[in-house]
Structure 1
């Protein structure tokens, strides 16, 4: 883990150099900004926002963000595009196929540094941060008759750890490691959310890791027909995890989030965030950031998680260097 911390520190130092490199000749963004005068006349007339599947949280919030741009930035319209979410989105954004993307902060970190599921790719240095949005909670779910009450109880059990190469799988591995557990101590099944829920129902797996905003539909549905236990990640272990992986944050799953959940459950979360292509004009990004935080009611109207977005939390868990345009706005209001 200490090696990971060293990589994080080195990446932050190297980022200042990469900004200069990208500015001199990075990938061409999805829309050509013309010359570097910063005039609104040179801004692109159309922008693309990568979101996620149409049944998830990213799509409605990304659509609301696109509408905020179209309604508040003169001469500029934006469209939300349905995608495969975080992993696909960082590739699209880095390659200049979109201008903004909804992503998990851990996935953007992995992409920028070329680690985890991106370890066979060049580092994605065209990624910059615009704002953190809301927590995506790591939920460890077991059937209530399984006897699993703690992370240690997962030893010897068949556990759904997320689809291969997914953010959930990386979360599962890191959280188990923080508890002194490896995949050698469990029987890991590499299943998606839906597959994991089916596995729990059928008894083919005893527990599952799910990374998503709460309440999560797959868990809510499971809890209506089967008793479920949400396994806590205790604060002392969470603190050690956050020290080694700074993109995590402490959260509580409130009592009543799921059927028969009588108590608050401590856990950790990664943050859903908006990322932006590094080459997008500074003045344009400033105006878009300003418009976003002056129209947060539009996000709240689009999805319940939109109500979690605040100016005070805009930099919480931020895993990328902030785009200069967004940073200028934060400097003004703070």
Structure 2
């Protein structure tokens, strides 16, 4: 009798061990998250990669990865189609999406909620010093990179040109990513480029290292006009020394980069995501200096979509 019990015990142990090896018995299934960012030469990509690293190191059974994409407009559509779970995008684009306005007319995005505002995105209009461009009006007839198709930068380029009485018929427009625009500027194949990104932007630093460039600046009156037409655009200063050869401060406009999420994600998971981001800021800052702007105090500043309940719960607990 004892021998039979012993044999049964050994048999049971062997079966359990086999199940563990084959993964039939496991602790928790792994959750996979994709984070839509932007081009590799912008700010979204390193910030998104750092967020993925933080999530992987601090949330059990989670596998997060950053994807290089066409940025804001593309990212919004990826969220809408549930092809990614998180995305970084401009707050103006997010607002248009949830209201079904402008490029989202007839395609309202109704499954997108916010986690946190991240940092200011500066609209930088980079011009070669030898292209004789001193103002927006001088872009007429010039070869201009207006941003990648489906990017927030391209939307901003169109808005700004329009406000100054220009459109794409007045320029030789080229739809280029930040990296592509930098390469064309260095090779003198284009005269100027619109970029919307956190500063310093890697692509601009790359050009400034080998070319004499300038940033177009706006007057107080022009910034007021831009803000009245597009309330998300506010005045900001690019400090002297931000790029090689930039000897004076440059006044331009900026909006806000925000982190959004598919509203179908659970409250618990989004709570954990929000907590991991704010309790591991140093990891983000090590990846890109712009992450210094990611703070609890500014987490809701410029947020143009409703917060996900998981993020809201985290902020409420800190009050």
TM-score by length of 1: 0.76
SS at 1:135 equivalent: strand
Does structure 1 residue 215 correspond to structure 2 residue 200? yes
1:266 aligns with 2:245: no
**Structure 2 counterpart SS, 1:225:** coil
| Equivalent position to 1:88, from 74, 79, 96 | 74
Superposed displacement of residue 278, structure 1: 1.2
Other-structure match for 2:175: 191
SS of match in other structure, 2:182: helix
Contact 2:218–2:252 (CA under 8 A) maintained in structure 1: yes
Tell me the number of residue pairs that the alignment of Structure 1 and Structure 2 aligns: 289
SS in 2 for 1:65: helix
| CA deviation after TM superposition for structure 1 residue 156, in Å | 4.5
Structure 1 counterpart SS, 2:209: helix
Does residue 62 of structure 1 match 2:48? yes
Aligned to 1:302: 287
2:173 is aligned with 1:153: no
Aligned pair partner of 2:298 in 300, 307, 313: 313
How far, CA to CA, are the matches of 1:137 and 1:100 in structure 2? 22
| Kept after mapping to 1: 8 A contact 2:144/2:171 | yes
The residue aligned with 1:281 is: 266
**Structure 1 residue 204 displacement after superposition:** 4.4
Q: How has the CA–CA distance of structure 1 residues 159 and 71 changed in structure 2, closer, same or farther, with 3 Å as cutoff?
A: closer
Deviation at residue 102 of structure 1 after TM alignment: 2.1
Matching residue of 1:108: 94
Report the equivalent of 1:175. Answer: 160
Match of 1:130 in 2: 115
Contact 1:116 1:170 in 2 (8 A): no
Question: SS state of the match for residue 267, structure 1?
Answer: strand
Q: Secondary structure at the match of 1:226?
A: coil
C-alpha distance in structure 2 between counterparts of 1:198 and 1:69, whole Å: 33
Aligned to 2:191: 206
Cα offset, 1:331, TM superposition: 3.5
Stretches of structure 1 lacking an aligned partner (at least 5 in a row)? 1-42
SS of aligned partner of 2:48:
helix
CA-to-partner distance for each residue in 1:184-242, whole Å, 9 max, x for gaps?
Answer: 67314123134433444454433221222222233223223321111112333223323
> In the alignment, is the contact (CA less than 8 A) between 1:117 and 1:166 conserved in 2?
no
Measured after TM superposition, the shift of residue 171 of structure 1 is: 0.4
Name which one, 1 or 2, has greater alpha-carbon Rg.
Answer: 2
Which whole-Å CA distance do the structure 2 matches of 1:236 and 1:44 have between them?
A: 56
In 1: Cα distance, 2:300 partner to 2:42 partner: 23
TM-score by length of 2: 0.79
Kept after mapping to 2: 8 A contact 1:155/1:181: no
